Amino acid sequence: MNDFRFRQVHLDFHTTELIDGIGSCFSKEKFQDALKLGHVDSVTLFSKCHHGWSYHPTKANVMHPTLTFDLLGAQIEACKELGIRTPVYLSAGYDHKTCLAHPDWVCVDSVENIGKPMPRIPEHYYPLCFNSPYLDMLIAQVEEVVQRYDCDGIFLDIVSIHPCYCSHCRKILADRGKSLHDTDAVIELAEETFYRYTERVRKAIDKYRPGLPVFHNSGHIRRGDRRLAHCNTHLEIESLPTGGWGYDHFPLSASYVGTLGMDYIGMTGKFHTTWGDFGGYKHPNALKYETSLCLANGAGCSVGDQLHPLGVMDAATYRLIGEAYADVEKKEPYCKNVRRVADIGVLSSEACKALDGGEVNSNSNPDIGANRMLTEGHYLYEFIDEEADFNSYKVLILPDDIPTIGQLADKLRAFVKQGGKILATGHSAVDSENRFICDFGADFIGKSSFSPSYLHPLFETPPFGEANFVVYGDHYDIRVNTGRTIAEQVEPYFNRGNGKFCSHQHTPFDPNKRAPAIVQGNDGIYCTFSIFSDYAKYGRLILRNVFCYLLDLLLGDHKTLSISHFSEKGIVTLMKRKDQQELFQHILYAPTFRAGENIEVIETLPAVREAEVSLRLETPPKSVRCVPQNQEIPFCYEQQVLQYTIPEFVCHQIIQIVY
């Protein structure tokens, strides 16, 4: 994206007609003062909100009934004077005013709800169907904005591929001779509808502003559907940690998005909870960490705010944003045009299920568990889909339930033939005939009849020593032939249930019921347990320790980066400047804790002291320094390994390595 900005604000403005004087206290000077206080260089402004009102004179819609002037135009003018970019927001999927006027345009989410009256709940939003006349209305609204205003992009919200059974969709299906109960036909129509909508938006924009950036937001960048991603000119990863996404979501999403060759932004919020949290402020240290997390993952930053209905910017909010963005402003020269360095590719469960036609779940447990283990083990990794270049990685991880058939199986066989290694768990790396697709030195038998079971490693597992560790979830039986068994599964005496039980939870292990659990063969390592799903749910330390042992076994001397004397809850990434001999190692740390019922927050930023880094580097380095401080760091380089100690820092430090 041309003129990509790192310090953006997404300025929500969803305002009901029940409030008088919309925008009546707007002041260009105070608006500009707030943006300068916040060190903001791009702000997404509103043309149309979820309520359905426009914030400017319009022929394609209706201006908010209590707004008396062109608020959007005034905001754009104020920003342009400061050199601040102004993408413009239109609510595409939600338009409450239109829903009430045209209930037959509203999506119907199931066959069972056909013909049922829409509940008249003023604060509730209903998605509109793009097979209804609503799409023509929306396209006219987009054209009006790009024709009239000097905007720098279009942001369309609440849009996704979803099955619909409204009268318009039912007619299309009937004309095609398809049944409402034909799920494949309904999904096919949903996909056609979405892509037709994106094509019409692109044509509407290009009619007046060819190439103007556009982003279609659904709240999550779905892994595994590149066509969906490339409907956009760039990507904005909506991920408010305290707003339901949590601190897991952004690093996982960014590690996948970074493989798509597009500019991308991490979108957090100033809110203590989520959007529309008037008077709710997160701790400044939390925003410092979240914006630093964006930089460490190769992303620009966007902070969500919501303008007061009277049009007054909140000074406390922009002091809060300014504390974080002043730091980003200093660091962004070292974060432009970079690409993540990764030893490991993780085939995303979400992505592979999408390709296989299975259920897509953005909260896929295997993905979450793998992401946590890799982050806590300080590995360099990316989440990938079937289209990725597997040969870019030293090890591929297939977490728990990756369907390996067809082209994917062929690519994996080619990968190991070239010397790559696979770490597979659970029901991964198995073809449709229950055979391993590569050589783990074992035969796959099938799903075990016991649940839970026990894992007994045949190697040291500090801090526990030798033991049988309970593991929940599905696990599988194998028969070892040429492979090396490096852990065993120990089955319980019986499954709990049907009148059989022992103690409070599960049946203890029977020491005489032993079978292979982890085996190493020529092409990699296979584990019979679904360890990533288990870790996502229960967080058992032993599983992470076992995983790190196995991964280190496969990486051997080819591991690019190692770090010691640093918390497992810290983040480490390595970025390479495109077409230049520069590396940027990011390290950041902030402890989280639970506040209220279920909100994970950050308040304190403790100092991190003397983290030690080893970096495999074929070319001797010319310099190693902390940036933006430009502080030289003593280093040692021997046998293609660079070693240095990071000086004390708080929250986030970038190390620039020039070679």
Q: What is the pLDDT of residues 520-563, one digit of tens each?
A: 999 999 999 999 999 999 999 999 999 999 999 999 999 999 99
156 within 8 A of 231, measured Cβ to Cβ: no
Tell me the two tokens of residue 553. Answer: 């076994």
Give the SS3 label for residue 379.
coil
What's the residue count for the chain?
659
Between CA 8 and CA 44 the distance in angstroms is: 8
Q: Which of 122-126, 139-143, 443-447, 611-615 is the least confident region?
A: 122-126
Between CA 96 and CA 128 the distance in angstroms is: 9
Between CA 123 and CA 120 the distance in angstroms is: 9
pLDDT confidence tier of residue 80, bands split at 50, 70 and 90: very high
pLDDT confidence tier of residue 405, bands split at 50, 70 and 90: confident
What per-residue confidence (pLDDT) applies to 295? 98
213 within 8 A of 1, measured Cβ to Cβ: yes
- Residues whose CB is less than 8 angstroms from the CB of residue 374 and which lie 6 or more positions away in sequence, other chains included: 344, 346, 381
pTM above 0.85, yes or no: yes
Q: Among 314, 312, 310, 313, which Cα is nearest to 23's?
A: 310
Between CA 55 and CA 225 the distance in angstroms is: 34
Phi and psi at 438, nearest 5°, equal -145, 180
- Residues whose CB is less than 8 angstroms from the CB of residue 257 and which lie 6 or more positions away in sequence, other chains included: 221, 229, 235, 237, 264, 299
506 within 8 A of 470, measured Cβ to Cβ: yes
574 within 8 A of 559, measured Cβ to Cβ: no
pLDDT of 177 over the 90 cut: yes
Q: Among 157, 267, 300, which Cα is nearest to 215's?
A: 157
Q: How confident is the model over 418-442, as a mean pLDDT?
A: 95
pLDDT confidence tier of residue 363, bands split at 50, 70 and 90: low
Q: How confident is the model over 489-497, as a mean pLDDT?
A: 90
Q: Please provide the average confidence, as pLDDT, over all residues in the chain.
A: 94
Partners of residue 172 on adjacent β-strands: none
Give the SS3 label for residue 114.
coil
425 within 8 A of 527, measured Cβ to Cβ: yes
What per-residue confidence (pLDDT) applies to 355? 52
pLDDT confidence tier of residue 76, bands split at 50, 70 and 90: very high
Tell me the two tokens of residue 518. Answer: 């982890």
pLDDT of 189 over the 50 cut: yes
What per-residue confidence (pLDDT) applies to 121? 47
Q: Which helix (H) or strand (E) holds 413?
A: helix 406-417
Q: What is the pLDDT of residues 321-360, one digit of tens each?
A: 999 999 999 999 999 999 999 999 999 999 987 555 545 5
